[in-house]
Amino acid sequence: MIEQITFFMKTLILSALAIASILHANAQDSTVAVAGNAPPFAVSAYVESYYLQDFRKTDSHTMPGFIYNHSRTGEVNLNLAFLKGSYTGDRVRANLALAAGTYMNANYAAEPGVLKNVFEANAGVKISKKHNLWLDAGIMPSHIGFESAIGKDNWALTRSLVAENTPYFETGLKLGYTTQDTKWYLSAMYLNGWQRIQRLDGNSTPAFGTQVTFKPNAAVTLNYSTFIGSDKADSTRQMRYYHNIYGVFQLGGKWGLTTGFDIGSEQKAKHSSAYNIVYVPVMILRFSPSSKINIAARGEYYHDQNGVIIATGTDNGFQTFGTSLNFDYQITPQVIWRIEARNLSSRDAIFSGRSTELSKSKTYLTTALTFALN
């Protein structure tokens, strides 16, 4: 395992250096640097290692199937590590990031070959001289949700249930527009599916997404995102309609509040006019007593009685409450130490342990160390 990780990290470094040399040469030819402006090419890196203790241990050392981050228990492991090269010019931009970790293993399991390690790969062109209107294509971060795959950017160490079960990435075309005062962002997407790089075999149904973000001031962010499409083969097509709504509020200098509500529906069968519903409210309150310390408490509820996204095979489906308490300490500008206690409690007994008897609840303690170089 250590030899494989070492080999992969060497490959990441060599790839980034190669990209850097190409883009640097192009930048010398096509871009004139302006004093005081950031260089057009940038390299960034991120590493997040973790240890997760499951107080109802399992022999397999794996988290439940609806958890896609920090998915290994009882061992020190790597959630996500990537090396990224970015180019930003006046009219063109591009990003390439290669990655490894248990996050990649869980979220890219359906992708073939080398695509399993492509964290991000996209290019964009500004299609208007007068307006901030961009067309981007490739593998991009998802337009759904307030939490990303990069742990340091999230208020809690582990991801909320709604983040884990909506896309972290998407592949397709995106047309995005930012107003001149930067208060509004509008985008529309043509996608290959629900968190997919390659389209599912037998599926020819296009998927679409939209996003509207409003930032009236530095303390408030409001967002509404949608997804329309099917994640099944045409022979069993069930259309899915998903709505993601959230707000992020800075309540003075030390307090922050994030609230979200997702609701989705999916056809019960092909051509059916009846739909199964999933809905998820979530709230995170953060307190920052100093510039180096953040404390966050989260409450959430995931209701998916008919297995639209999380199938349990039980009478009541997935109806689960979650609570967590998180503590972060900024050791250096690049390094954060995090620790979080979390409990999940479900209406049915869906959590496994070493015995054959299932449980209605699970309690975890997770700690992580993150390193980020921008």
Give the alpha-carbon dihedral of 327, 286, 50, 145, to 10 degrees.
170
Going from N- to C-terminal start, the domains of the chain cover: 45-73+127-373
The CA distances from residue 281 to 58, 145, 365, in Å, are: 29, 12, 23
pLDDT score of 37: 67
Q: Which fold has domain 45-73+127-373?
A: Porin (2.40.160)
Closest CA to 142 of 263, 43, 30, 223: 223
Q: What is the pTM of this model?
A: 0.88
pLDDT score of 57: 72
Amino acid letter, 40: P
Q: Are strands 132-141 and 361-373 parallel, antiparallel or unpaired?
A: unpaired
pLDDT score of 374: 86
Whether the CA torsion 4, 19, 68, 343 is positive or negative: it is positive
Do residues 338 and 367 touch, judged by C-beta distance below 8 A?
yes
Distance CA 180, CA 186 (A): 12
pLDDT score of 75: 94
**pLDDT under 70 in the chain at which residues?**
1-37, 355
Distance CA 168, CA 208 (A): 16
pLDDT digits (tens, 9 = 90+) for 144-188: 999 999 999 999 999 999 999 999 999 999 999 999 999 999 999
Amino acid letter, 151: G
